[in-house]
Structure 1
C-alpha cells in the first residue's frame, strides 16, 4: 500500500519531505505525493529525483500537473515525477 500526500503547491518541498519522514517512521512502506502546482524555484525539484542510494527513502511517485510549464520541462523523464495534464479539466469547466 502507498500513502499519498496531497497538496496544492510545492516550492522547496521541505514540508513534503518532513511528512514523508513521519509516515515512514510510522510504518508506511511507500509514500507518494500529488501536488497541483509544482513551482520548484531554484531547481528544488532535485531533492526528489531518485538516486540509487536513497531509493528506499524516496517518494515512490510524485505527480504534478502541467500548470507550471518550466517545471514540466525541467523534470521530463526524471523519476519519480509524472505530469498530469489539466487541459481536459479546464475544457470541461469552460464547456468547450
Structure 2
C-alpha cells in the first residue's frame, strides 16, 4: 500500500525496485538460523549429552548426585525440539548452568 502510494506520486527511485521492507520476526529468524548453522556441531554435541543423561535412569541419578555435590540449582535438563529455535536457546542456557557437571 505504501509502495503503491509512493509510486503513484513518482517518489520512489528506480520505480520502487529497491523498496522492500522485511518483517522484524523474519529478520530475527534469519539471524538465528545463520548463527545456529555456525555452531551446529556444538549444539549437536550438547543435545546428544542431554539425551544421554535424560534417557537413562542410572545416568540421571549420577548427574543429580554430582549437581547436589557441587551445590548447583536443582533444575532439570532441557532437551530442545526441532520446531522452535528458542527451545535450543533454552537447552543451551540450561546446560551452561550445569557446565561444571559435564567433563
TM-score > 0.5, shorter chain as reference = no
TM-score w.r.t. the length of structure 1 is 0.22
More strand by share: 1
Q: Could you tell me the TM-score, scaled by structure 2's length? A: 0.22
Report which structure shows greater RCO (CA 8 Å, sep ≥6): 1
